[in-house]
Chain A
Amino acid sequence: MDFDGLIPQLLNLFASAMLILAFAMLSQRRILRLIHLFTLQGLSVVGATLVVAWVTGQHHLYFSAALTLLLKAILIPWLLHKLIDRLNVRWDIETLLNIPTMMLVGIVLVIIAFNLAGPISQLSGSIARGTLGIALACVLLSFMMMITRAKAIPQVIGFLAMENALFFAATAATYGMPMVVELGIALDVLVGILILGVFMFQIREQFDSLDIRHLEKLKED
């Protein structure tokens, strides 16, 4: 079997899975399914990291794959599930306007991302040439998801999806950041999600709803 051809393809498979999942999240209206999609995205990152680790033989990447698995595919989804249970929003459906338009804007974003990342991917000596563009596209798509959502939990999931995409960028383009930095980032993400959890209860307590539209009083008049 021709491994040399297979490895980049496998990596591209995970990368495209990430991109498709980013689009799926953009158009998903149910909070529960959004969490499932986020978990799948986390698993794709783990898969991609494992492939890169295996190809390059860098042991610290196995460690960071394990860290990602623990954090992004197990711990954070578990926290999110607990959160939606406690807040009783498990079956919430959000009304999203204009899904086709959002998809089109998303495609434009992907094209922009590929154009930006193109020249750099040429220089990157890694096995993952096209993946930097995909990672940047996922960052932009998650960003767009955050802008278009009106509820707190989907916004947070958008934020976490962005973190996933960044992590993927780090692995694909540079074979992972140094371990200290990766641990620091993981710690920040974990603390961040805990603080957000606390926050959601405070918001609910004040407004009886998790609709971010209540949080638009502080405007310039």
Chain B
Amino acid sequence: MNALFVLYASPLLGTLVLALFGHRPVGRNINVGFSLISFAAAAVLTVQIVEHGPLHAFDRQFFIDPLNVFLVALTALVGLTTALFSRPYMRVEEDHGRMTPGRMRLYHSLYQLFVFTMLLALTTNNLGILWVAMEAATLATVLLVSIYRTPASLEAAWKYFILCGVGIAQALFGTILLYLAASRVLGAGIDALLWTQLDQVKTALNPGIMSLAFVFLLLGYGTKVGLVPVHNWLPDAHAEGPTPISAVLSGLLLNVALYAVLRCKVLTDGALQSRFAGDLLVGFGLLSVVTAAFFLFRQKDVKRMFAYSSIEHMGLMTFAFGLGGPVANFAGLLHMTVHSLVKSAIFFAVGHAAQKAGTQIMDDIRGLLRSNPVVGWGLMAGTLAILGMPPFGVFASEFLILTTAMQQLPWATPLLLLALGVAFAAVFSRVHPMVFGNTELKRLPHPPAIVPVFVHLALGLMLGFYIPSYLTAWYEQAAKLIGG
């Protein structure tokens, strides 16, 4: 309860404090400080949930169970490491004149607000508030994407705002339909939107309304997950915003959106007693994996390429949750964790590399190993990890997803293998010359943030061959909650 309070208070207070002092050099450290407090609160909360089981708070308006507590912990962790990464990164941006003190203040303040909206979306029990928090997360990030005020970044932010706005409006319609179905069972009022209440009566919800509601919810939140064909905002927003924001968008926001879809799927499954929701997820997931893999080949901008890689991996998770069952859900959750960690590590490395080369065009970034070996190795290791090389965790989760697919949907397996193969060829052939190869570039004026990169990669590596028993138990509980 107290940990939960700190979890909300810390980023909110951070937003206010940084709105006042974010432009000063000390703002960078304040940002890290508040992120650290949030992370500590999330850690305490996690221990409490692991020991005592699910928790209701504030008159059932908030609800923590094994499914969301693991995402809360992940969000707080990546929020902290990204804050650490953004210290040297943003100093260089200031030196280059791309960030002014005013923009730094906006950046720091909105960063904390963004973390707050994600934590709120994850922990709220009210599906209406979930929607409000998701929309607020969009609003908080849209000005971050356009923070450089370049034509390309304005375009990206406009696209992001309009597409996600439309998407999230569909989700609101879905929520209204859900409330319509729920109020017939639970009566009007706030109870009819509480997930825990709905979960108890899910079999009584009207199947007709629920199936239509799920279609709208999936389209709506799916826009934010980056599912093809409603993914168009994602590569632009990732490529044109500052790199720390790309890292949190990819590593966290997409997860939160997928989490929202999963919560709705549980209710829909209960109401329909069929594989309708699962089949939709399988379809969208497969389409996203295959489409994104082929788009990877055409990219010239390094952040854009890894943004497409995020679409591919979100598709893979969606596919896994669509298959359902304990093994696929376990694999999906594991993949969620490892993808967050590894992808944000890659963005950290890419951020330093692009800053050094002064461009995000891959053909112009060469010889990282010569000019900055640590960043070079970080990028190489991260790339191998995200492409599913053993012993990294992505390999384990992809292996589990593929084997489950072989049993349940044999025809999908060759498609997935093909897509993963194409993705490997596309990404590896681009990253290899960036890391090896020759360069005459100078070192960066400020030492890069190496710790976040390797902490993430080490965790990703650990999850590849050893998952601690409490973590396994936790994943299994969460996988059971998703059902399917």
Contact = CB atoms under 8 A, between A and B. Distances in A.
Interface of A: 58, 116, 119-120, 123-125, 136, 139, 143, 146, 152, 155, 159, 162-163, 166, 169-170, 173-175, 177-178, 180-181, 184-185, 187-188, 191-192, 195-196, 198-199, 202-203, 205-207, 212, 214-218, 220-221
Contacts of A170: 176, 179
B476 interface: no
Q: Name the residue in A139, A192, A215, A218 with the highest tally of chain B Cβ atoms < 10 Å from its Cβ.
A: A218
B154 A218 contact: no
Contact of A188 (B139, B183, B192, B212): B139
Given A166-B173, A199-B157, A124 B132 contact: no
A205 B126 CA distance: 41
A11 B135 CA distance: 30
Contact residues of B: prevailing secondary structure: helix
Given A202-B154, A203-B158, A159 B165 contact: yes
Nearest 9 A-B pairs (CB), nearest first? A181-B128, A184-B132, A215-B155, A178-B190, A188-B135, A170-B176, A174-B180, A218-B236, A206-B151
Q: Name the residue in B173, B180, B189 with the highest tally of chain A Cβ atoms < 10 Å from its Cβ.
A: B180
A112 to B, nearest CB: 13
21 contacts: A120-B177, A123-B206, A125-B184, A139-B173, A166-B169, A169-B173, A174-B176, A174-B180, A174-B188, A175-B188, A177-B175, A178-B190, A178-B192, A185-B135, A188-B132, A195-B142, A198-B143, A206-B154, A212-B158, A218-B155, A218-B240
A52 B455 CA distance: 57
Nearest to A170: B176
Interface of B: 126, 128-129, 131-132, 135-136, 139, 142-143, 146, 149-152, 154-159, 161-162, 165-166, 169, 172-173, 175-177, 179-180, 183-184, 188-190, 192-193, 206, 208-209, 212, 236, 239-240, 295, 298
Contact of A162 (B149, B166, B184, B240): B166
Contacts, number: 131
Contacts of B295: 220
B184 A169 contact: no
B208 A166 contact: no
B165 A207 contact: no
Contact of B169 (A139, A181, A198, A212): A139
A199 B295 CA distance: 30
A180 B162 contact: no
Contacts of B177: 120, 173
A192 B132 contact: no
A219 B158 CA distance: 14
Contacts of B159: 215, 218
Given A125-B184, A196-B161, A119 B208 contact: yes
B477 to A, nearest CB: 29
Nearest to A125: B184
A191 B131 CA distance: 15
Contacts of B152: 217-218
A216 B156 CA distance: 9
Nearest to A147: B166
A63 to B, nearest CB: 15
Contacts of B162: 146, 155, 159
Contacts of A180: 126, 128-129, 190
Contact of A120 (B142, B179, B208): B208
A192 B139 contact: yes
Contact of B212 (A120, A124, A220, A221): A120
B180 to A, nearest CB: 5
Contact of A207 (B151, B156, B172, B188): B151
Q: Name the residue in B129, B149, B172, B193 with the highest tally of chain A Cβ atoms < 10 Å from its Cβ.
A: B172
A146 B154 contact: no
Contacts of B206: 123
A174 B174 CA distance: 13
A191 B149 CA distance: 20
B99 to A, nearest CB: 16
A177 B179 contact: yes
A120 B236 contact: no
B256 to A, nearest CB: 16
Q: Name the residue in B132, B161, B206 with the highest tally of chain A Cβ atoms < 10 Å from its Cβ.
A: B132
Nearest to A207: B151
Nearest to B213: A120
B180 A173 contact: yes
A217 to B, nearest CB: 6
Contact of B298 (A155, A187, A221): A221
A202 B132 CA distance: 26
Nearest to A184: B132
Nearest to A191: B139
Contacts of B155: 214-218
A48 B236 CA distance: 40
Q: Name the residue in B159, B165, B188, B206 with the highest tally of chain A Cβ atoms < 10 Å from its Cβ.
A: B165
A214 B206 CA distance: 46
B294 to A, nearest CB: 11
B208 A123 contact: yes
A192 B137 CA distance: 11
A80 to B, nearest CB: 16
Given A177-B128, A221-B298, A166 B176 contact: yes
B190 to A, nearest CB: 4
Given A180-B190, A195-B142, A206 B173 contact: no
Nearest to B300: A221
B180 A195 contact: no
Nearest to A117: B212
